[in-house]
Structure 1
Amino acid sequence: MIYTVTLNPSVDYIVEVEDLVLGGLNRMKRDMKLPGGKGINVSRVLNQLEVANTATGFLGGFTGGYIEEWLRKEAISSDFVHIADDTRINIKLKAGEETEINGAGPEIAESETELLLHRLDALLPGDIVILSGSTPPSLGGDFYSRLIALCKQKGAEFVIDTTGQALKEALAQGPLLVKPNHHELAELFGVTISTREEIITYGRKLLEGGAKHVLVSMAGEGALFISEQGVYHAGAPAGQVKNSVGAGDSMIAGFVGTLSLTGDVLEAFRAGVASGSATAFSDDLADRQKIEELRPHIVISQL
């Protein structure tokens, strides 16, 4: 079983205006409300790929209810801890460029934290736990370490999709996959990266640090897959980019879901790039039809 953990989910309120006038009255051209949070995104795309999974984490208030009802309508299995505080709202303001205003996240009590740890106590050897996104400030900086320790104790694999110190600390525990984009990779090592060769150099450092597989997304330049068996590049397919939100999460879903079904890392890479691209070409996350349309167009070459 694959489990996705979203510690700080959101309702993403996407607002589009023609011309933003600061300090004046602006009228919406279009708006959407979508369930947000990186693990939730992964679960939604796994569901499109017909890969069994369970979404968990923390949800609270009317916003948490909105997310839970959306997942129910999409027939996604979920087992969230219900908290007293409200799940946050993130605003994505599109006016030419996109401006994001993200909420900090709810206060989570220690008793609520223990409930989530109890949920994951049912993990079995061979399960995969995908840990994605930010943590609410109330959880402290070491909560991912606690979850990883539980995964290791139960013999489950884990995927970590976060940045900074939390990612550095997770590497030594042998994550199944890490997936920085090229900007996050540079930030992680405190360097400037301007060439593909430099991306490969620092991607390999993630392998040396303990990761089993490394995916580095490079926007229009496609993606790199780095593992002990080699370095591979997949070009980005042609299409009109409509949406950057969730493309990386979709890539993780395509990779992990296909790897769990087939054991073939290159087919998993192909599915990851197809899924990420399908989301980039959509208003919301990728659907199965769009992923399958793109999959044959993903050309992989060994470097």
Structure 2
Amino acid sequence: MTVVEIQKSGPLSTFQDLGRVGHQHQGVRVCGAMDTFASRVANRLVGNTDDCAVIEYTLLGDTVTFSGPAIVAMTGADAECRVNGQRLSMWQTLWLEPGATLTIGGMAWGVRAYLAVSGGWAVTPVLGSASTDLAAEFGGLDGRALKKGDFLRFNTGVGDETPAMKKLSANRYREVYHRDQEVIPLRVLLGPDSDHFHSRFVAALDQLQFQISSDSNRQGITLDCKHYDGPIHGALGPDIISSFTTFGMIQIPRHGRPTVLMADRQSTGGFARFAKVIDADLPTLAQCRPGQSVCLVPVSLAEARAAKLYQDAIVDSI
């Protein structure tokens, strides 16, 4: 089993997969990759199933050395990737020789990048998932972020047969992330607490722009709106009896700043739920930096399903 040593660590590097599902009724967070599109593509590029663990890097990656050969892929944010000093491309299969040092530098665009290795990282599942729950301190590697001096392993080595080269074209992933648009459209399904919000706010939604706040994190992304001074909540107010949450649910507390609940969200919440960002647009939101402008675009359930099927087709094309 090849050993991977972390020579230098970034600010937040954690093991994640598609999440710890089936335990929210027990108060257990789902966690998992913030950008599931990028994590799934990374696994496909190296021949893994979608739910294999990947390493999620935030803003800056690690420097790691491989004791043996490896097949890897980097996806997500535009990170500067080098092997033994030589610049390499992302979104494609990469072959590393024994002793190779992979350096994942700063990200020119986006927030989170993902590293997958053929065979999958050898991480002991907790409640069926390798995802790191930083708040509860379990999963991943001892429930914490990776640090210098850690030794990681993955399940299989590179065989004698050279694998096929796989690549996702830039046009496809740029389309997923709306990278040609200055204001990022986030499609939403309205509800389920629509009766708690003022009709004036709902009617003005298609004219409003929001900015990603600097106090956003893996638990939630806060949106600021500087050009709306009307009422947000109706007569019922911002509070509800504590009820379920889901990835992309938009809560609006009394202070009026919408918060989109993300991968490390709590299992229940007591603030009125205005809408949900559709699954197909959550990867885009996960890559938005503070200050990025977004708008909320209501769509139908049929449109949300079609968008997810289209994104799944992109993943399946690999």
**TM-score (norm. length: structure 1):** 0.29
Which structure dedicates a bigger proportion of its chain to strand? 2
**TM-score (norm. length: structure 2):** 0.28
- The higher-RCO structure (CA 8 Å, 6+ apart) is 2
Structure ID, larger Rg: 2
